[in-house]
């Protein structure tokens, strides 16, 4: 049964904090298994990857069949519906046009003491993208991960996608083609993360790994961080909808289900200031479930993790939203744009009654790889910056070193680091 919280309840904040503290992440449950798989891949390379692929995906691979061929990609494209390919191309252009605007610029300055300071931005050399596979259809994940890497200037983009029983979804391969990816391997799970992080005879290691996956993939990404960069540890999907009673309750109900249908651990939360309207939304949600193909998943998610919060007035809401720090935030309100300026913690904000979260999943332009589990308090969605690194540059002249060197020597002496002090002082004598 879905939770219903009311801010007028004296115990509201205790119940609200309990809601936020309930973990829906499962990677800790499988971290030991993921660690063992990674250790094996690091030791045995290709053979470990082949063995785990045979075990988990029921697919026999060797060095000659590991990589998706150009012929397989071409055949996949031919199997795709022309209208769907057209939609992927529209999405690709919109995603590219948005992300390329956020490339950072190099910076140079000479300060008052005559020291030249600079920042140089460079793309990483290679990136690995994990895409869920088999019967799952996530071509949007291919675009959302690959296009920012390409916009950043990454030269080598590798995709790994599991192929259970040898099945690869044609749209996933078509999306890879549209995004310009040619190096694709038929592997998934923690073993694929290990191959990307450590390298094998057949797969050269990468610098950064991004993309969503199951609990084993999340645990493996967490384990290899430091050997490679990663985008984030993504938990189950979540949406928070703030709605007034002027919305059609059927619209808000289906928006809540748009995340609940992802998996049983997803979370959907509604905040409204009208208890009658809240009931209308939950009733409409039940009506939608009667016709939703993934109703069993969505219902489990809604019953176990969903929540309706009824506030006394909307002035209470920004503080609650900022504490929740949701992955997706819909503001279906009057003056939603002005209201959005009060929100500091959210992965992505969808403003107004005609901006459902689903439009951001596919075609709006901003990335749909977003921080979950309240991590929007300190992190951001995937962007070109995930595939870039910043190098600082310092250049002193003799004159500028004479100005800033002595105070640096004082600090080095206080820290008991004489070589530091003397490496400056030797140039000043």
- Domain ranges for the chain, please list them: 3-23+235-364, 27-105+123-230, 396-428
Sort strands 348-351 and 328-332 into parallel, antiparallel or unpaired: parallel
168 and 137 Cβ atoms separated by less than 8 Å: no
399 and 428 Cβ atoms separated by less than 8 Å: no
Residue with tokens 């993360």: 193
Sort strands 229-230 and 238-243 into parallel, antiparallel or unpaired: unpaired
Homologous superfamily in CATH for domain 27-105+123-230: Nitrogenase molybdenum iron protein domain (3.40.50.1980)
Question: What does the angle CA 196 – CA 201 – CA 202 come to, to the nearest 5 degrees?
Answer: 65
Q: Which of 27, 223, 238, 327 is catalytic?
A: 327
Asked about 330 being catalytic, the answer comes back as: no
CATH match of 3-23+235-364 with 3.50.50.60: no
Asked about 327 being catalytic, the answer comes back as: yes
Give the DSSP letter string of 12-51.
HHHHHHHHHH-----HHHHHHHHHHHHHHHHHHTHHHHHH
**Per-residue pLDDT in tens (0 to 9) along the chain, 429 residues:** 899 999 999 999 999 999 999 888 765 689 999 999 999 999 999 999 999 999 999 999 999 999 999 999 999 999 999 999 999 999 999 999 999 999 999 999 999 999 999 999 999 999 999 999 866 679 999 999 999 999 999 999 999 999 999 999 999 999 999 999 999 999 999 999 999 999 999 999 999 999 998 889 999 999 999 999 999 988 899 999 999 999 999 999 999 999 999 989 999 999 999 999 999 999 999 999 999 999 999 999 999 999 999 999 999 999 999 999 999 999 999 999 999 999 999 999 999 999 999 999 999 999 999 999 999 999 999 999 999 999 999 999 999 999 999 999 999 999 999 999 999 999 998
Q: What is the sign of the dihedral through the CA atoms of 417, 419, 425 and 429? A: positive
Number of Cα atoms under 13 Å in the Cβ half of residue 189: 25
First-last CA distance in the chain: 77
Instruction: Please count the helices (runs of H) and the strands (runs of E) in the chain.
Output: 17, 14
Q: Which of 177, 328, 330, 357 is catalytic?
A: 328
Q: For residue 165, what are the contacts with CB-CB under 8 A and spacing of at least 6?
A: 57, 58, 59, 134
Residue 87 has phi, psi (to 5 degrees) of -65, -40
Rg (CA), the chain: 25
Residue with tokens 């997706």: 328
Task: Tell me the whole-structure pTM to 2 decimals.
Answer: 0.93
Answer yes or no: same fold for 3-23+235-364 and 27-105+123-230: yes
């Amino acid at each position: 049964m879905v939770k219903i919280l009311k801010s007028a309840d004296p115990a509201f904040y205790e119940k609200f904090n309990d809601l936020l503290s309930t973990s829906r992440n499962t990677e800790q449950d499988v971290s030991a298994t993921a660690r063992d798989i990674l250790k094996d891949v690091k030791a045995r390379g290709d053979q470990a990857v082949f063995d785990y692929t045979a075990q988990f995906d029921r697919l026999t691979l060797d060095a000659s069949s590991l990589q998706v061929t150009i012929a397989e990609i071409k055949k996949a494209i031919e199997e795709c519906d022309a209208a769907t390919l057209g939609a992927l191309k529209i999405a690709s252009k919109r995603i590219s046009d948005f992300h390329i605007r956020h490339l950072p610029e190099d910076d140079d300055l000479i300060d008052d003491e005559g020291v030249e300071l600079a920042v140089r931005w460079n793309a990483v050399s290679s990136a690995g993208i994990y895409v869920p596979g088999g019967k799952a259809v996530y071509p949007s994940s291919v675009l959302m991960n690959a296009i920012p890497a390409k916009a950043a200037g990454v030269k080598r983009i590798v995709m790994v996608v599991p192929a259970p029983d040898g099945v690869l979804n044609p749209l996933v391969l078509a999306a890879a083609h549209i995004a310009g990816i040619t190096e694709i391997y038929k592997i998934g799970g923690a073993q694929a993360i290990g191959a990307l992080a450590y390298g094998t005879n057949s797969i050269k290691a990468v610098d950064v790994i991004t993309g969503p996956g199951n609990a084993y993939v999340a645990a493996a990404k967490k384990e290899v961080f430091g050997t490679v960069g990663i985008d984030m540890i993504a938990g189950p999907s979540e949406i928070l909808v703030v709605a007034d009673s002027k919305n059609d309750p059927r619209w808000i109900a289906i928006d809540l289900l748009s995340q609940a249908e992802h998996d049983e651990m997803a979370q959907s939360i509604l905040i409204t200031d009208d208890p009658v309207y809240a009931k209308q939304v939950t009733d409409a949600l039940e009506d939608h479930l009667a016709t939703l193909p993934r109703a069993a998943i969505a219902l489990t998610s809604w019953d176990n993790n969903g929540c309706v919060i009824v506030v006394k007035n909307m002035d209470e809401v920004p503080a609650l939203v900022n504490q929740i720090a949701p992955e997706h935030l819909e503001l279906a309100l009057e003056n939603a744009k002005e209201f959005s300026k009060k929100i500091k913690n959210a992965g992505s904000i969808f403003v107004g009654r005609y901006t459902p979260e689903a439009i951001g999943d596919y075609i709006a332009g901003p990335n749909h790889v977003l921080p979950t589990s309240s991590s929007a308090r300190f992190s951001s969605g995937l962007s070109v910056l995930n595939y870039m690194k910043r190098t600082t540059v310092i250049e002193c002249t003799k004159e500028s070193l004479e100005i800033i060197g002595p105070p640096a020597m004082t600090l080095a002496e206080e820290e008991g680091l004489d070589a530091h002090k003397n490496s400056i002082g030797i140039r000043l004598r």
